[in-house]
C-alpha cells in the first residue's frame, strides 16, 4: 500500500504538503495541488480514515439510525437508506448504520467517540426520547419525521396530513362518500410514530371538512390481519365504496381478499394507496397512489446535514408536498348511485 511519503516523493513535495492538500487546512497553490492529486491517483493512495479524522477533526461519516423490527417494511426502509448512502457519497461521506433499538446509548456512543460528523434519524415518535440527547451532542442531527418538539433540530418528511387530505379529496371528487382507512399496525400507533399520527389526524380533519362518512382501523401484518381489519371496517360502516391504504404490507393480501370475496377493484371498491411508486405498480391492479418520496427525503436529509456542517442556514421544517398519480384502482361513481 502506498504511503503519504510515497505520494510526497512522486509529487516532489513534503509529506506535510500532501497532508494539507488532503485536509484543506492550509491554502496550497493550484499547481502544487494538481501535482499531489495526480500522484494520489497514479499510486492509488487512500488516506487512513482514523488518521484523516485526527488531522482534520472530520470523519467523513454520517450515522443513519434506522428501524429494523418485525413491524416495519424493510424494503421501504432500505429505499430511504439507499437514498442517504447515495447522497452521502456525492459529498464524499460514508454511512454508518445504527438500529433504533440502540436508543440514546447508541447515539452517544458514536458521537462521543467522534465516529461521525452528523446523524440522520428515522422512525421518530411524537415524544421521542432521543431528542433531548441529540440537543446535547456537538454533531448536527437531521430527523426524517416530525416529533412534537423538534426545536433547534432540522426535520424533513412527506407532509402526511396533506397526503391524507389529497387522498380523500381525490375520492370525494370521484363521488365516494363512504371511505375506510386501512392504517399501519397497532404497534405503530401505540408508539405514536409521527408519520402515522399525522396521517390519521389529516384523514379525520379532511373527512369532517368534506362531510364524508369514514371509519379507520389499524391493520396487523399478514392475511389474517387484513381479513380482520376489513371485517371491522365493513361492520363499522355499511356500504364502503373506497379504501385508503396506509400500510404497504397490507396491499397484496387486501387485493387477494377482495378478489376472493367477489369485490372488484375499482368497480366495487376504489383504492388509493400511500406507498412507493414501485410498490403501487407491482400489484395485480396498478394502484392509484400517493408516493412515499424516499429518494427525495433521504437526499434532502443529507444535503441539510452538509449545510449544517458548513455552518450554512437551513430550513428547519421541510415537509414535501404529496403527489397523487391516478392509475387503475379508482373510478367515478355515477351521480345516481351516490
Architecture of domain 61-158+294-320: 3-Layer(aba) Sandwich (3.40)
**Over 70: is that where the pLDDT of 24 sits?**
no
> Residue 165 and residue 272: Cα distance in Å, rounded?
12
**Over 60: is that where the pLDDT of 54 sits?**
no
Return the pLDDT at 337.
Answer: 66
**Over 60: is that where the pLDDT of 55 sits?**
no
Return the pLDDT at 266.
Answer: 96
Q: In the chain, which ranges are E strands?
A: 61-66, 94-99, 118-121, 141-144, 154-158, 178-183, 213-218, 242-245, 270-274, 288-290, 317-320, 324-325
> Residue 64 and residue 88: Cα distance in Å, rounded?
11
> Residue 273 and residue 280: Cα distance in Å, rounded?
7
Provide the mean pLDDT of the chain. 91
**Over 90: is that where the pLDDT of 26 sits?**
no
Return the pLDDT at 334.
Answer: 76
Least confident of 42-51, 269-278, 308-317: 42-51
Top CATH class of 4-47 equals: mainly alpha
Return the pLDDT at 50.
Answer: 54
Mean pLDDT of 91-108: 83
Domain ranges across the chain: 4-47, 61-158+294-320, 160-292+324-337
CATH of domain 160-292+324-337: 3.40.50.2300
**Over 60: is that where the pLDDT of 225 sits?**
yes
> Residue 200 and residue 287: Cα distance in Å, rounded?
21
The more confidently predicted of residues 99 and 164 is: 164
128-181 per-position pLDDT tens digit: 999 999 999 999 999 999 999 999 999 999 999 999 999 999 999 999 999 999
Least confident of 19-23, 106-110, 235-239, 289-293: 19-23
Say whether 61-158+294-320 and 4-47 share the same fold: no
Return the pLDDT at 48.
Answer: 61
Name the DSSP letter for residue 93. Answer: -
> Residue 320 and residue 247: Cα distance in Å, rounded?
19
104-131 per-position pLDDT tens digit: 888 888 887 778 999 999 999 999 999 9
Amino acid at each position: 500500500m502506498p504511503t503519504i511519503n510515497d505520494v510526497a516523493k512522486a509529487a516532489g513535495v513534503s509529506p506535510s504538503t500532501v497532508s494539507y492538500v488532503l485536509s484543506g487546512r492550509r491554502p496550497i497553490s493550484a499547481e502544487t495541488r494538481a501535482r499531489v492529486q495526480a500522484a494520489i491517483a497514479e499510486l492509488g493512495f487512500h488516506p487512513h480514515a482514523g488518521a484523516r479524522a485526527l488531522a482534520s477533526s472530520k470523519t467523513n461519516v454520517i450515522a443513519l439510525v434506522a428501524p429494523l423490527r418485525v413491524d416495519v417494511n424493510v424494503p421501504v426502509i432500505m429505499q430511504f437508506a439507499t437514498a442517504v448512502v447515495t447522497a452521502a457519497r456525492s459529498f464524499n461521506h460514508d454511512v454508518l448504520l445504527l438500529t433504533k433499538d440502540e436508543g440514546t446509548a447508541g447515539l452517544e456512543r458514536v458521537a462521543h467517540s467522534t465516529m461521525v460528523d452528523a446523524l440522520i434519524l428515522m422512525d421518530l415518535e411524537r415524544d421521542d426520547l432521543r431528542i433531548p440527547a441529540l440537543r446535547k451532542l456537538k454533531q448536527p442531527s437531521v430527523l426524517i419525521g416530525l416529533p412534537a418538539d423538534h426545536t433547534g433540530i432540522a426535520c424533513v418528511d412527506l407532509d402526511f396530513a396533506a397526503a391524507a387530505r389529497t387522498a380523500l379529496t381525490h375520492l370525494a371528487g370521484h363521488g365516494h362518500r363512504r371511505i375506510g382507512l386501512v392504517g399501519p399496525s397497532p404497534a405503530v400507533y401505540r408508539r405514536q410514530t409521527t408519520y402515522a399520527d399525522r396521517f390519521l389526524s389529516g384523514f379525520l380533519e379532511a373527512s369532517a371538512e368534506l362531510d364524508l362518512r369514514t371509519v379507520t382501523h389499524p391493520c396487523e401484518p399478514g392475511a389474517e390481519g387484513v381479513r380482520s381489519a376489513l371485517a371491522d371496517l365493513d361492520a363499522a360502516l355499511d356500504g364502503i365504496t373506497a379504501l385508503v391504504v396506509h400500510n404497504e404490507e397490507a396491499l397484496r393480501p387486501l387485493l387477494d381478499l377482495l378478489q376472493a370475496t367477489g369485490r372488484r377493484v375499482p368497480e366495487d371498491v376504489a383504492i388509493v394507496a400511500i406507498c412507493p411508486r414501485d410498490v403501487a405498480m407491482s400489484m395485480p391492479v396498478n394502484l392509484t397512489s400517493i408516493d412515499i418520496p424516499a429518494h427525495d427525503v433521504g437526499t434532502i436529509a443529507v444535503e441539510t446535514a452538509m449545510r449544517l456542517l458548513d455552518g450554512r442556514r437551513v430550513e428547519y421544517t421541510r415537509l414535501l408536498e404529496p403527489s397523487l398519480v391516478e392509475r387503475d384502482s379508482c373510478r367515478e361513481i355515477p351521480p345516481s348511485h351516490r
